[in-house]
Amino acid sequence: MKYLFLTLLITISMSGNATAQTNAQIPCTAPECSQFDFWIGDWALTYNDTMHAANRITKEMGGCLIHEHFNDAAKSYSGESWSVYNPLTKLWQQTWVDNQGGYIVLSGVFKDGRMTLFTEPASQPDGTKKQYRMVYYNITTNSFDWDWESTTDDGKTWKNNWRIHYKRKER
């Protein structure tokens, strides 16, 4: 009797779960989930006027994940990021890691033709708080610009630390 009850409970639980899945919206199909699609592809990067790198961006996990594969062979520097749209917070969330021990967590929005992602403000040794942001702008099918900026005055002014120009690689 005990096993019959357990079997019945599992069967009911599984059938209810299947019904809930069929009635739910398919994950990552909201229009916001495509806001980062401009980044998908293979890119040639130029920064500091002469340095070059490569970046390959893929859409994975059923269209839920934007996966970055950055490589600057001349500097032996590489990194990856994972970006997802969170429908609960209505924010893009990105995590970056690299081969120099870097780990950065950002979140932000796509608005007015620009994707802007921010770190949380962090205390510095001198007592100030520093915050970073990355801004993707001048977005076209075959190119865009990306800036890595910082502020120490709660966002009143931003200093550009690094600019990268992306150009889509020819196939």
> Domain coordinates of the chain in residue numbers?
31-168
More confident residue, 25 or 127: 127
157-to-16, 23, 59, 160 alpha-carbon distances in Å: 53, 47, 34, 10
Please report the pLDDT score of residue 162 as a whole number.
93
Q: How far apart are CA 135 and CA 116, in angstroms?
A: 5
pLDDT digits (tens, 9 = 90+) for 71-122: 999 999 999 999 999 999 999 999 999 999 999 999 999 999 999 999 999 9
pLDDT digits (tens, 9 = 90+) for 15-54: 444 444 444 678 899 999 999 999 999 999 999 877 799 9
Give yes or no for residue 142 having a pLDDT over 80: yes
Sign of the Cα torsion 155, 152, 83, 161 reads positive
CATH annotation of 31-168: 2.40.128.20
